[in-house]
Structure 1
Amino acid sequence: MIYDFLVIGGGIAGASAAYELAADASVLLLEAEDTTGYHATGRSAALFTRNYGCPIVMQINATSAHFFQSPPLGFCETPLVTTRGCLTVASGGLEGELDALLARSEPSDSVCRIAPQNALEMAPFLRSERVADAVFEAGVSDIDVAALHLGFINGAKARGAIIATKHRVLSVLREDRVWRVNTASESFSTACIVNAAGAWADKVGAMVGARSIGLVPKRRTAIIVKAPAGLDCAALPSIDFAGTAAYLKPDAGRIMASPGDATPSEPYDAWPDDMDIAVLVDWIERETKIKVARIEHSWAGLRSFVADEAPVVGFDPDVPDFFWLAGQGGYGIMMAPVLAKLTAELCTATVGAHSKAFAQSLAPERTTQLYGGDQ
């Protein structure tokens, strides 16, 4: 059989693309691991906010909001998002760091300055001497990533897509306008490849002779610690710290913490570095009143970026019938509904007027100027 589309990668990008493509085409999704969503998707901070990322990412996030609030009928059994709110605090001398966040406020997505005392009431474990100013963004929500990913996987299957795990792509050949994609146990034929391989996307591109898009996987570390006694985690907002990439977030009655690190890495099954964890624990105890007696869980994930930190979505300019869906950074969960629909529109030449602006901004051609990638 020659599939219309073969999607490489079963994370949120590949799963959502398979879901949209399968509405009108035959689709095969190949995942290298035992389960889909094993890498970056399964290790996400799981927050939705319009005010995150570069301008084009924020536009995509805003457009995705409707899907999260009103998913297709039968897509999931429970809500995909739950209101959380995000508190950003600034220590003395860093108050100006909040101005850019305040400037992004819109009537439909209010961001407002609040008194330090109000911030301390929201998060009583913060140190009062470290909170000189604060901003609260009410529209930030928790995303049920597992439900979102499963909705795309099950929806793709219901539309006829084949989802095949334990199929790591080893080589790719093209003959007579047909791609032959080879794994250790089988070979598959397709008219078009969709490269949604996450941190491995440039590796897949190299298999077909495409120029590198300059993709850089970056490791991010997270830990779970016990919440202070008596703290109502259900009412706690996510907390960002101005001047740093660090953040705290409630997680099932505990506290998740990340330094927001972005350490360049080769693609691999990421694990946390002991020194990164030690530095994070020290930071927590200096910036808050939380005493870390024990780390209940730790992990790391890879977030992959190109130079301008916008995703790469579109057909390769030199390799026919090879489509990039990569470089989604730490925003892939939020952008998935829009990027999947854009992928389907581009792959089937049905791009609407609203999507054209996104498509031009995300096209793979731009990475040649950004990165100057070689064959």
Structure 2
Amino acid sequence: MQSNSPKKIVVIGGGIAGLSVAAAVADWADVIVLEREPHLGYHASGRSAALFTETYGNRVVRGLTLASRLAIVEGGFVAHRRGALHVGWSGDGDAIDRLAGELQALVPSVRRLWAAELHALVPVIAAEATCGGVYEPDAVDVDTGKMLESSASALKAGGGIIRIGEEVRAISPDGGGLRVETNAGVYTADIVVNAAGAWVDVVAGMAGLSGLGFQPKRRTAFLFDPPAGTDISGWPLVVDLHEQFYFKPDAGRLIGSLADETDSEPCDAYPEDIDVAIAVDRIEQATSMRIDRPSTPWAGLRTFAPDRTPVAGFDPRLPGFFWLGGQGGYGFQVSLTLARLSAALMRGEPLPADVTALGVTATALAPDRFLVPAATP
């Protein structure tokens, strides 16, 4: 006889991935979120550039993003209509034309800007220095703090529990479920959700599983002042076509970055002085800006699966062990949709129709795609 009692779910990781999925299942499960750090969103979620753009990522990521727009708008998580601009330089005209065509097919509001139009939008880029760019006017800044708090509040309202400063030490089978041992106690669960960000493969190892090949990549950023007397409030995110740097307004100042992706071990990432210096030089070479005092540098880890598509699904090697990782640099723009479809997968239900209509399938997200089939005897 099947039990009617709620499922017990332990979510490992208190970033946006873990919090949003915990909130999504709280109405039908008893949920506990375990976060090793002293506060939520400590690592990647607390260090995001906070932009929602429908042109970023591969086909699956774009589908997840498109499915998330309504929830982000209706949830009141839009902080500013920002726009995003890919800038080309001398000799990049054909590449910009191709990119404009590709992105317009995905997002009709995208348009090709010519040199004079680009200069008018971002005056620090001289018209003679650029062949123009590709502009996505509907990209928006996301209030990441509000998103984290909203998911945490929804979880608590549904009876869920958050434990901070609690580190998982081991995961093992326990009857028909799983046993999770931490530095503070022991939990039993029907489902364990591995939403540990850069540590997803490490957490899998605690359960006796080999990892899926996730790779954390460090990205460094810093703040700097705009040119004196310049109104930057209408500037978009400006990204070099070759992803050599980016800059964007933030609370009256500018965020600059090398747009780097440096392989890293899972860690509390710190900025490298050389990365800041190279980014400053590239921004100065491309614009009329002079950055005298870059300040408040920081670094975060953006963790990708080998195919740069997020992973969401049960591991066939250990019943009840659910992967939710590899959100890379797309976390805040895809997390609410990944939470909904993960909840459906955990209940054995079809994926939401609005998500599948955008070409997202359970197979495309499943961890199985990285597992070598067992040899036939």
1:49 aligns with 2:48: no
Separation in 2, partners of 1:39, 1:158: 25
Separation in 2, partners of 1:186, 1:210: 22
Residues 20 and 341, structure 1, Cα contact 8 Å, conserved in 2: yes
Residues 83 and 139, structure 1, Cα contact 8 Å, conserved in 2: yes
Displacement of 1:82 in angstroms is 2.5
Residues 351 and 362, structure 2, Cα contact 8 Å, conserved in 1: no
Runs of 5+ unmatched residues, structure 2: none
Output aligned runs, 1:1-375, within 5 Å: 4-71=8-75, 78-98=76-96, 99-106=98-105, 109-352=108-351, 354=353, 355=355, 357-368=360-371
Residues 53 and 139, structure 2, Cα contact 8 Å, conserved in 1: yes
- Matched position secondary structure for 1:172: strand
* 1:349-369 deviation per Cα after TM superposition (whole angstroms, max 9, x unaligned): 122463564211100001126
Name the CA shift for 1:57/1:107 in 2 (closer, same or farther; >3 Å): closer
Separation in 1, partners of 2:372, 2:92: 35
Q: TM-score, normalising length from structure 1?
A: 0.93
Residues 80 and 148, structure 1, Cα contact 8 Å, conserved in 2: no
2:163 maps to amino acid: A
Name the CA shift for 1:166/1:101 in 2 (closer, same or farther; >3 Å): farther
Q: TM-score, normalising length from structure 2?
A: 0.92
Percent identical: 38
Deviates more, 1:203-212 or 1:312-321: 203-212
Separation in 2, partners of 1:35, 1:3: 26
Separation in 2, partners of 1:136, 1:306: 28
Deviates more, 1:203-212 or 1:351-360: 351-360
Residues 226 and 296, structure 1, Cα contact 8 Å, conserved in 2: no
Separation in 2, partners of 1:154, 1:233: 34
* 1:57-91 deviation per Cα after TM superposition (whole angstroms, max 9, x unaligned): 011101111111112xxxxxx54343111122100
- Matched position secondary structure for 2:154: helix
Displacement of 1:185 in angstroms is 1.9
1:97 maps to amino acid: A
Separation in 1, partners of 2:264, 2:214: 10
Separation in 2, partners of 1:108, 1:242: 18
Q: Name the Cα RMSD after superposition.
A: 1.9
Separation in 1, partners of 2:74, 2:311: 26
* 1:294-335 deviation per Cα after TM superposition (whole angstroms, max 9, x unaligned): 112110000011111000100002111000000111011100
Separation in 1, partners of 2:268, 2:31: 27
- Matched position secondary structure for 1:233: coil
Aligned length: 365
Separation in 2, partners of 1:358, 1:211: 24
* 1:139-177 deviation per Cα after TM superposition (whole angstroms, max 9, x unaligned): 111111111111111111111110110001111222212
Separation in 2, partners of 1:107, 1:212: 33
Name the CA shift for 1:62/1:278 in 2 (closer, same or farther; >3 Å): same
Displacement of 1:245 in angstroms is 4.4
2:361 maps to amino acid: F
Separation in 1, partners of 2:12, 2:203: 9
Residues 2 and 188, structure 1, Cα contact 8 Å, conserved in 2: no
- Runs of 4+, deviation exceeding 6 Å: none
Displacement of 1:49 in angstroms is 0.8
- Matched position secondary structure for 2:361: helix
Name the CA shift for 1:315/1:107 in 2 (closer, same or farther; >3 Å): closer
Residues 179 and 189, structure 2, Cα contact 8 Å, conserved in 1: yes
Displacement of 1:106 in angstroms is 4.8
1:21 maps to amino acid: V
- Matched position secondary structure for 1:229: coil
Runs of 5+ unmatched residues, structure 1: 72-77
Deviates more, 1:36-45 or 1:355-364: 355-364
Name the CA shift for 1:236/1:139 in 2 (closer, same or farther; >3 Å): same
Separation in 2, partners of 1:248, 1:64: 24
1:117 maps to amino acid: A
Separation in 2, partners of 1:352, 1:120: 44
